[in-house]
Chain A
Amino acid sequence: MLKQTPLNAVHRAAGARMVDFGGWDMPVHYGSQIDEHHAVRRDAGMFDVSHMRAVDLSGAGAREFLRYALANNVDKLKDSGRALYSCLLRPDGGVLDDLIVYFLREDFFRIVVNAGTTDKDVAWFRRLLGERAPRLTLSPRDDLAMIAVQGPHARAKVWAALPGSDAATAEMKPFFGREVDTGAGPAFVARTGYTGEDGFEVMVPAARAEATWNALVAAGVRPCGLGARDTLRLEAGMNLYGQDMDESTSPLAAGLAWTVDLASPRDFVGKAALVAHPPARRLTGLLLQDAGGVLRAHQKVGTAHGDGEVTSGTFSPTLGKSIALASLPTEVAAGDVVHVAVRDKRLAARVVKPPFVRNGKVLVS
């Protein structure tokens, strides 16, 4: 039996094509994945991401615990509401998950983790808490629904749909979140996302998910499925956990060195392993030059410095070309031409530095 979000019936009524996404019954598109993709780049679209889980950490010493538990440094979070992207690492440096942590108060942080990894993340956090901070409380928020509203007009449409959110979030900078009183009840509104566009991620109690979704539709936000979410995140050069990285991958090999703080004296889970084992590969972008197919995960990549592999590939609706993230030997540089095995052909692709697209603008050529 697949798990359902509070919006399942809404998706079915809207004619969504539903798929099994890591055990969840989720919409892949509502008609055209490409049209939904363009709606986010040009106007505003929304995704039901209620399968992802907010996990609240509360109690005195929460920051000190996260300083050790996360690869990125929560000391960067000085202002209330500030968010930080981080990997959660195993002691051997492998990536357990990637997440966003919001600093709300010294004794209250909200962590948003991936759907398929929620159970192992919570178990890992609890084990670590038992060892280091048994008085902190960890609360998975199964009672919340999450809607990501993304696109150049996304914020204005959220303000139209959720009374009171305008005044509370108009001045809020990117990568901040806060609790908002919408009149219908509280919502947590964060200026974050997974598309490379401006927008909000909105969390509301599950009971208000449907009303919130319908208000957003009425405000002109287009429902989008996980298909468009994948092409948007790939254009934005963002990793997908389980595909571009997993427990066997170092974040340094997954293009996430910028999120790992090795400079400060702070110790954290996985640090010693990362320092001891510099990666032989790194994640980079590919832009397909030849006609003849679409780049896909697991295709072999031949380079002058040895073989690599595509980790995520797709057709980019914004570029009208196939793009990919690929794990390649570290000697391969941007501008190099490599060859990807696509069925019985070897197709030329150029190595580029992601992202491919941000804020509606193409950044590679």
Chain B
Amino acid sequence: MNVPAHLKYADSHEWMRAEADGTVTVGITDHAQAALGDLVFIELPAVGRALKAGEACAVVESVKAASDVYAPIAGEVVAVNADVTGTPESVNQDAYAAWLFRVKPADPGALATMLDAAAYTKLISEA
């Protein structure tokens, strides 16, 4: 399973990437897309929405099931990837390229507290 070393992870199977401007890009992991199967519908949060950590804020639906995506850290949604709503399968093809939304963290230190690649790899290998 693909778990890039430069990303951070949540135990609810989102990945996070720190951007140069201080925002954090969020998507679902390769493990999550494989578990869901072929994605056919994605709903993203509204830009400007204030998210609490752990709050359900997006929906990904595969042929077989619907699944919530959780805000891994608190913050304001500053951008969404509108391309993926038209091509949900792009998340299956490359879960780390097909990001879902970007947040401006309420706490700039929040990202550092999330799982690193080694810890996330351990989490999914135990599941």
The chain A residues found within 8 Å of chain B, CB to CB, are 17, 28-29, 32-34, 227, 230-231, 292-294, 296, 314-315, 317, 343
Contacts and interface: CB of A to CB of B under 8 A. Distances in A.
B76 interface: no
A231 B40 CA distance: 13
B127 interface: no
Interface in B63-120: 63-66, 92
A296 B40 CA distance: 13
A28 B40 CA distance: 17
Given A28-B37, A293-B59, A343-B59, A33 B64 contact: yes
Closest 10 CB pairs of A and B: A315-B40, A34-B38, A294-B61, A33-B38, A315-B63, A33-B63, A33-B37, A294-B41, A32-B38, A227-B64
B64 A28 contact: yes
A32 B63 CA distance: 10
12 contacts: A17-B37, A34-B38, A231-B63, A292-B43, A293-B43, A293-B59, A293-B66, A294-B41, A296-B65, A296-B66, A314-B64, A315-B61
B63 A293 contact: no
A227 B37 contact: yes
Most buried by B among A28, A34, A292: A34
Contacts, number: 41
Contacts of A34: 38, 40, 63
Contacts of B64: 28, 33, 227, 230, 314
Interface of B: 34, 37-38, 40-41, 43, 59, 61, 63-66, 92
A293 B61 contact: yes
A314 B63 contact: yes
A317 B41 contact: no
Contacts of B37: 17, 28-29, 32-33, 227
Given A227-B63, A293-B66, 12 more contacts: A29-B37, A33-B37, A34-B63, A227-B64, A231-B63, A292-B43, A293-B59, A293-B61, A296-B65, A315-B40, A315-B41, A343-B59
Contacts of A317: 63
B119 to A, nearest CB: 24
Nearest to A321: B40
Nearest to B88: A315
A210 B16 CA distance: 44
Nearest to A292: B43
Nearest to A343: B59
A166 B45 CA distance: 57
Contacts of A32: 37-38, 92
